[in-house]
Structure 1
Amino acid sequence: MTDRKIFAGASVKRLRRGAGMTQVALADALDISASYLNLIERNQRPISARMMLLLADRFDFDPRQLVADEPGGGIDGISRRLAGPMFDDLSIDRSELEDWLAMAPNTAEAFVRVFDHGLREYAPSASKNADSLQLVQREIERWRNHFADLDAMAETLADELRLGSADLYGAIAERLRARHQLAIRILPEAVMPDLLRRLDLHSRQLQLSEMLDTASRTFQAAILLGELEAQSEIRALVTGADLQDKAAERHFQSHLSSYFAAALIMPYARFLKACEQTGYQILLLERRFGASFEQVAHRLTTLQRVGARGLPFFMLRIDRSGMASKRFVGASNASLAESPRRCPLWNIHRSFDRPWEVHTQLVLLEDGSSWFTLSQAVQGVGSGAGRNQSEFAIGLGVAADLAASLYDARGLDLSSENADLIGLGCPACTRPNCSQRSAPPKSRILQFDERELGLTPYNFVAD
């Protein structure tokens, strides 16, 4: 796999100043010259793997934070903001962004702040919902989708519930009844034709549709228990996010309630131990914790507890059109999950043709990063109720150099030369001669030759 140069000057400077050290003092500790450290902090030199480990050892932090803290979210973060139609005519390619971040990191950060502020303040009302979702998505990414306080509280509560019953659903139901005077009632689909869950405070009932499967019933009950017993912790996280948007606050609160429910069903330490023992075998994890494929996939993106980290997975949920309705990048920093478009050569799309089967693929992106991915088609929650016949494909991925321990990767050669070449959607992809291409790359000039016909109608200047 091609090594990606990491420019982390702003992060290194922040660490140094936080420790009250001069450049000379930190340079001595890292066994480099002060002038070289100065170049690193000005993003004139990339940071080496050795230096990342030395910094991590001295300042006790996850070295992957250096990548996450790149100005403007790094190249991937800025690329997401430049993906809109406003910038289509500029043909900005990745090399230009690399130069910008290297030469002027502070102006890149300033651009992102002005851009994001503009989204909040001046977006037309028709796009406010999308803007609210973006605000929440960025807050989740800032936390790497790991909320340690919620995890710890859910883990303690899960242990307490296990003392009373091995049946988690029954234990949650009893807790709701005894402590909160709330009963769970399963109602026929005809009574709740357009609803899967309803909290009726007049009758003191959590009413669930019979169309919910066992895993979904437990999850919905766990959400309510979290909303009641982790209310102050969830509210503190929402308030601390300072989203300044009511819709975003409600959406973030909903995400945190679901996070707590997943942590209650799959307590951190027990879940991570099961992952490592089984090679992250999804089916066994589903059975062991009474969870669905989607619930397990989501939980895998959250395993970032200090001192007990799991593999850094990303998760994506798409419909048949390729539209993403969920994305959790976690600690993976995967542009494959962050991209607004999908490559048709990624076999996540084939999941719809063979549902309930896990599809694996080793893929190589243009930036040289290689990923091992798993995909499976699932029905939407409560599918079959009324006119609800929804289906989605769940995609999971982890860096190929970390995938050797996975059950689904056993016996496979994970070297990049064996990977399938894919892109981040045709407008962002510059791979030549792709017969699947449906649009030209934005960053390249088209060429036309009336005497020749290639594999694609879109021929373009290579660079």
Structure 2
Amino acid sequence: MPAGALTGSRIRERRTMLGLKQSVLARTVGISAAYLNLIEHNKRRIAGKLLTDIARALEVDPAVLADRAEASLVAGLRDAAAVTPDAGAEEGRAEEFAGRFPGWAALVAAQRRRIAHLERVVEGLSDRMTHDPHLAASLHELLSTVTAINSTASILVEPGEIAPEWRDRFHRNIHEDSQRLAETSQALVNYLDATGEQAQPVGAPQEELEAWLEARDYHLREMERLLPATPAAMVQEAPELTTTAGRALAEEWLARYRADAEALPLASFEPAAREAGYDPGPLAARFGVGMGTVLRRLAALPPPEGAGRLGLVVCDGSGTLTFRKPVDGFPLPRFGAACPLWPLYQALSRPLAPVRAAVEMAGRDPRRFMAYAVAEPMGVPGFDAPPVFEAVMLIVPGDRMRVPAEGALRVGTSCRICPRGDCTARREPSILAEVA
């Protein structure tokens, strides 16, 4: 339904709620019942004095009848409808439903967001429980403490007398082990709770850097304005960066960010990116810079209001992910290997050759993205050293660019939590139920 065509639906809902007959309302505002019927079925536009008269008769502000449903609410409904088999028919009625039942529409959209959030939390927890060495060490400590308490308690319950000094020592051991068990359990719970999208864990230097960038939405205004502050000075003023390794990674990333900003200034690059529809190919040709620089720069742009942000992932020559900027609907594994079908890894096998592909992420609610990737050499290549490559992949959601459904490459997060059983690239069985 076209924008602004829901005023009639709101008039009908308001009239029904007040218990007014269509003929009574029509007579009150001086029009025929047949004409009012056309208005209420959105077959005639209405504005000006007639809208004001109807609003007065319905005891409501004219703006309430005339305003469109919020774009974000309609987008949320369409996102929820996309998971149904007959998605096309339902998506077309999203704006009408939002206009007639805004409360129910908000509830449906909120539930869809909650489901998507819980799915991301489950994926993150599964990834962490499968591959995280810190979690394994914590569980080992917890089980060792439980075993120590059990052994001491078994001695105390054995028949026979125990010397008072030994009994006191055993009691003290149980007390100390119990305290350690409580502290370890609480720390483990806090660690797992931090897997949610609103609180990223910072157990490793890379996590520390990404949590700091996430708090700034990956857009560093200080580097954009090219202020006198250097990357080192900016890191020194960041209390969130607590480890030496974390500060070193941040300083390295800031230096690269500044170099990209100097090559592609925000004032000229941002409008050019909008004009090009965020397609990195024309932008690289227009500004005469490397594709990797364009991909990183696009990911650093602040997203337009109401639009999803662009994701970015970087890996070294071994395929290990060295940087992640997540995007909704495209989970990035924290530990373990990612999906080998990603264009990121295709780029590693074709250095300097840009790769573009429409991808569909596996899951109960599959979503499509455009992925752009390239592998470029790091540093200055030498004759006596092997070339070292780094691959960069930009992830563009469907609300920023049209993503064709035909021929989309079906990918996952990692084999452990990918439900597609027919994948030839699978390394290990999935813990999830298989999907077609």
- Give the TM-score normalised by the residue count of structure 2: 0.53
Residues 33-432 of structure 1 mapped to structure 2, 5 A cutoff: 47=110, 74-75=121-122, 77-84=124-131, 111-113=192-194, 120=203, 131-151=204-224, 153-154=225-226, 229-231=228-230, 235=233, 238-304=236-302, 312-329=309-326, 334-336=330-332, 340-367=336-363, 368-384=366-382, 386-404=384-402, 414-415=404-405, 418-432=407-421
Structure 1: distance between partners of 2:341 and 2:261: 34
Structure 2: distance between partners of 1:439 and 1:67: 27
Is the CA contact 1:146–1:305 (under 8 Å) kept in the aligned structure 2?
A: no
Other-structure match for 1:3: 79
**Cα distance change, pair 332–443 in 1 and its aligned pair in 2 (3 A):** closer
Q: Percent identity?
A: 19
Matched, 1:437 2:426: yes
Give the unaligned 5+ runs of structure 1: 6-29, 53-65, 89-106, 121-130, 155-225, 405-412, 445-460
The total of aligned residue pairs comes to 285
- Answer 1 or 2: higher relative contact order, Cα 8 Å, separation at least 6: 1
3-state SS in 2 of match to 1:403: coil
1:335-361 CA-to-partner distances (Å, cap 9, x unmatched) read 157675222333433334443332222
How far 1:297 sits from its partner (Å)?
A: 1.1
| Deviation beyond 6 Å, 4+ runs, structure 1 | 70-73, 107-110, 114-119
3-state SS in 2 of match to 1:393: strand
Task: Choose 1 or 2 for highest CA Rg.
Answer: 2
Structure 1: distance between partners of 2:202 and 2:259: 32
Is the CA contact 1:313–1:332 (under 8 Å) kept in the aligned structure 2?
A: no
**Cα distance change, pair 248–423 in 1 and its aligned pair in 2 (3 A):** same
What amino acid is the match of 2:344?
A: I
**Cα distance change, pair 257–345 in 1 and its aligned pair in 2 (3 A):** closer
Is the CA contact 2:235–2:247 (under 8 Å) kept in the aligned structure 1?
A: no
Structure 1: distance between partners of 2:383 and 2:328: 36
1:424-455 CA-to-partner distances (Å, cap 9, x unmatched) read 222221212323322111456xxxxxxxxxxx
3-state SS in 1 of match to 2:324: strand
**Cα distance change, pair 394–113 in 1 and its aligned pair in 2 (3 A):** closer
3-state SS in 1 of match to 2:300: coil
1:116-143 CA-to-partner distances (Å, cap 9, x unmatched) read 99975xxxxxxxxxx1122112222232
Kindly report the root-mean-square deviation, in angstroms, between the aligned alpha carbons of the 2 structures. Answer: 4.4
Structure 1: distance between partners of 2:351 and 2:307: 27
What amino acid is the match of 2:210?
A: Q
Structure 1: distance between partners of 2:314 and 2:427: 22
Structure 2: distance between partners of 1:270 and 1:320: 33
How far 1:236 sits from its partner (Å)?
A: 5.2
Give the unaligned 5+ runs of structure 2: 1-74, 82-100, 137-187
Structure 2: distance between partners of 1:344 and 1:48: 32
3-state SS in 2 of match to 1:259: helix
**Cα distance change, pair 376–254 in 1 and its aligned pair in 2 (3 A):** closer
- Give the TM-score normalised by the residue count of structure 1: 0.50
